[in-house]
Amino acid sequence: MAKIMAVNAGSSSLKFQLLEMPKEAVIAQGLIERIGMENAIVTIKFDANQAAAQNAAVTVKGDKAKFEQTTAIADHQVAINYMLEQLSKLDIIENFDEIVGVGHRVVAGGESFDRSVVVNDQVLAKIDELADYAPLHNPANALGIRAFQKLLPHALSVAVFDTSFHQTMPKQNYLYSLPYEYYEKYGARKYGAHGTSHRYVAGRAAAILGKDLTDLKLITLHLGAGASITAIQGGKSFDTSMGFTPLAGVTMATRSGDVDVSLVDFIQKKEGMTNDDMLTVLNKQSGLTGISGISGDMRDLRAQRQDNERAELAIQIFEDRVVRYIGQYLAEMGGADAIVFTAGIGENADWVREEIVDRLGYFGIKIDADKNNGCREERDVSAADAKIKTVVVPTDEELMIARDVQSLM
């Protein structure tokens, strides 16, 4: 048995999961927030043990334990060192050498990476170079890789790219209608995102349906704060809603999704905004938040939809954009065997699933209300007479990362 860690490093956060492979059992999972601040928050969840019961920072409920502490965390190096020390103190690991591999989520791999790779100096340099494609993510991802390599030099370091799954898209689906030289000179094209999630749920959906993935046409709906939709044909990404960056596509919690670039220029001039100001609006002040003026959380909008016209409007626009992409991908692939809901909204908001599917009856997509209501686990929620299945699959990107690390060991 081997202990493998899956890591998602943000600019001021570090999310991790420690798994026992190939058993695929989660040993511990945690999050360090507010890195670089005096009041960083550290949370680690794990199975209770003797050390947990003796630690004042740990609460135990049944056989589950949670470590919570607020402390000063100067940078990612300090965060990782602190996290590893706590794993040791809590008897989750005996020593650092037990962790034989670390898989790192990296957002942008460009055209350089069509699969996960072992990190060496050349790979790390390329991740740095691709920072222009994901300026908020790649630098933080690289920071996490370097910090872990310093503290766990014996462990295999693997980069798992959000974009790699989408490298199978045909050219007509990933190119923009711009002068071709921009693609040749700058790599201006659609790269997509959430590839690890789409890859995982597609495989699980095939298992639920009892079919070989290579024989299926699927439309996977990763609907969360960030949302993307992917057409999968023969187990490969055929088209996806996100574009050059994760800003494009459907309406999201705070991101606009697709917008006419001339309108962006128009507003920018009217408001006297810089390019950075406009990108902040599009990425952080738009989407459900911008339309509703209330929240980017679908639960908050549902609670107010009866009494607040803009809350209802935000929900309707979100669902409308999802339906549009489903219709587009059904046309592109010449039909589908199933649509697959995943991520925060897709997994938990049964009412959103129902409202989206209700608008797709023309295609023979129907759900069984009894199967769908309250469903938060893997399940085929299709009606008996549905021509295209509807499946719910909770995503597990960390497990996919751990599997990629194991496969490269």
Angle between helices 397-408 and 195-209 (to 10 degrees): 100
List the catalytic residue out of 63, 75, 128, 162.
162
Q: Are 282 and 257 in contact (CB under 8 A)?
A: no
Side chain identity, residue 90? L
Residue 293 and residue 287: Cα distance in Å, rounded? Answer: 10
- Encoded tokens for 286: 């738009």
Angle at the Cα of 216 from the Cα atoms of 215 and 219, rounded to 5 degrees: 160
Give the burial class of 221: count Cβ atoms within 10 A of its Cβ; 0-12 exposed, 13-18 middle, 19 or more buried: buried
Q: Are 406 and 4 in contact (CB under 8 A)?
A: yes
Residue 58 and residue 44: Cα distance in Å, rounded? Answer: 9
Query: Any bridge partners for residue 43, and if so which?
Result: 31, 68
| DSSP sequence for 198-254 | HHHHHHHHHHHHTS-GGG-EEEEEEESSSEEEEEEETTEEEEES--SSTTSSS--SS
Catalytic status, residue 162: yes
- In this structure, is the dihedral angle defined by the CA atoms of residues 224, 398, 125 and 149, taken in order, positive or negative? positive
Residues carrying an active site annotation: 162
